[in-house]
């Protein structure tokens, strides 16, 4: 029997808000006790401002947050909860977390495959993010698989729709909304969560979204960049070239002006992506050949620069900048 994420969300919201109300009531009761002890009834009130209560309260949207809670660091929305779920799912894709063990499953050291029975992590530590479903193992496909395994086959479509609605992002279908989130917002949220010291790193060719792929820092090896280049970047370039040929054929033989317009628009985008990835490939090639080793003890900031510096000390911006 499948489970609905919407039900889990409502349960968690009720639990969090009950905890909030209980803590607020306890703080006000303590205030009353101390006011009575010290005879300060004429000078103080036991009331506690809602925004000063230091546990989270959950609202469906920012519009639902009352004035008395605005400015609190403990306000969460449904979108925040779904973003957290997505982050956990990506952690499971990389093997940082597992559906079968509590806490961290892997953060360096020896890999223990026995920890992963329900959901198997990505084998090569590369999660491509594409603007269209080109690859069978892209991050959106893997995410849907995660939702299917974690919550059940029977509810997968309803759960995907709930996730998409909660993200409040653009897209015609639920999967398009989720794809756009991964393309445009996921890394920003990840960097914010980890206070500008991300553990998942985004290889990013630029504004045309020609190539994007995540890796997990703790699974990085000297061969990771080379593998990413050959198995993903080059493969995607071949796909773009095939799509360009298909769009050119469509534009030449289409019977309607609309079909021609759609094909030409897509053709222009693909050509930009090919140009962008060609320039990106040159940078990635230098770094792949350098087979750069990292030392986790040096910290994220140092390693983030190191992985983008070739043998000659030249900085090659291949990762999304941390803002």
pLDDT tens figures, 212-241: 999 999 999 999 999 999 999 999 999 999
Residue among 228, 200, 219 at smallest CA distance from 87: 200
The pTM of the full predicted model, rounded to 2 decimals, is: 0.92
Task: Judge whether 79 and 94 are in contact, CB under 8 Å.
Answer: no
pLDDT digits (tens, 9 = 90+) for 273-291: 999 999 999 999 999 999 9
CB 154: neighbour CB atoms within 10 A?
13
Average pLDDT over residues 61-84: 92
- What is the predicted pLDDT for the residue at 127? 98
Strand order in the sheet with 127-128: 127-128, 212-216, 200-204
Looking at per-residue confidence, does 155 or 44 come out higher?
155
Reported as half-sphere exposure (CB side, CA atoms, 13 A), residue 5 has a value of 28
pLDDT band with cut points at 50, 70 and 90 for residue 121:
very high
**Max intra-chain CA distance, the chain:** 90
- Mean pLDDT computed over every residue of the chain: 93
Phi, psi of 209 (to 5 degrees): 55, 35
Angle formed at CA 64 by CA 166 and CA 80, multiple of 5 degrees: 35
Average pLDDT over residues 268-273: 96
Q: Minimum mean pLDDT among 8-12, 43-47, 155-159, 204-208: which range?
A: 43-47
- What is the predicted pLDDT for the residue at 321? 94
Average pLDDT over residues 58-86: 92
Lookup: tokens for 321: 């900048």
Angle formed at CA 312 by CA 311 and CA 318, multiple of 5 degrees: 70
Question: What CA–CA distance (Å, rounded) separates 270 from 264?
Answer: 10
Residue 69 is given by DSSP the state: G
- What is the predicted pLDDT for the residue at 165? 95
pLDDT band with cut points at 50, 70 and 90 for residue 255:
confident
Residue among 214, 210, 207 at smallest CA distance from 281: 210
Query: With 70 as the cut, is the pLDDT of residue 1 above it?
Result: no
Task: Judge whether 148 and 156 are in contact, CB under 8 Å.
Answer: yes
pLDDT digits (tens, 9 = 90+) for 137-168: 899 999 999 999 999 999 999 999 999 999 98
CB 142: neighbour CB atoms within 10 A?
19
């Amino acid at each position: 029997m499948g489970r609905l994420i919407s039900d889990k969300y409502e349960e968690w919201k009720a639990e969090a808000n009950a905890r909030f109300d209980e803590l607020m009531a306890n703080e006000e009761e303590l205030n009353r006790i101390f006011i009575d002890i010290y005879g300060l009834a004429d000078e103080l009130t036991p009331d506690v401002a809602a925004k000063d209560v230091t546990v989270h309260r959950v609202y469906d949207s920012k519009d639902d947050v009352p004035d008395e809670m605005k400015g609190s660091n403990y306000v969460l929305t449904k979108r925040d909860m779904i973003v957290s779920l997505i982050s956990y799912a990506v952690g499971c894709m990389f093997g940082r977390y597992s559906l079968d063990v509590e806490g961290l499953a892997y953060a360096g050291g020896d890999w223990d495959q026995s920890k992963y029975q329900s959901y198997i992590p990505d084998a090569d530590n590369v999660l491509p993010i594409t603007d269209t479903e080109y690859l069978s193992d892209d991050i959106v496909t893997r995410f849907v698989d995660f939702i299917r395994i974690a919550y059940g086959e029977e509810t997968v479509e309803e759960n995907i729709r709930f996730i998409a609605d909660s993200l409040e992002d653009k897209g015609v279908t639920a999967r398009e909304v989720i794809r756009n989130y991964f393309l445009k917002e996921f890394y920003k949220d990840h960097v914010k969560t980890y206070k500008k010291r991300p553990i998942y790193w985004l290889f990013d060719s630029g504004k045309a979204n020609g190539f994007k792929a995540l890796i997990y820092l703790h699974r990085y090896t000297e061969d990771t960049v080379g593998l990413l280049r050959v198995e993903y970047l080059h493969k995607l370039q071949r796909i773009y070239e095939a799509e360009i040929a298909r769009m050119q054929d469509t534009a030449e033989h289409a019977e309607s002006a609309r079909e021609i317009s759609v094909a030409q628009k897509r053709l222009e985008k693909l050509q930009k992506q090919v140009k962008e990835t060609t320039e990106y490939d040159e940078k990635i090639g230098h770094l792949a050949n350098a087979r750069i080793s990292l030392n986790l003890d040096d910290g994220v900031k140092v390693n983030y620069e190191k992985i983008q510096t070739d043998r000659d000390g030249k900085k090659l911006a291949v990762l999304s900048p941390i803002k």
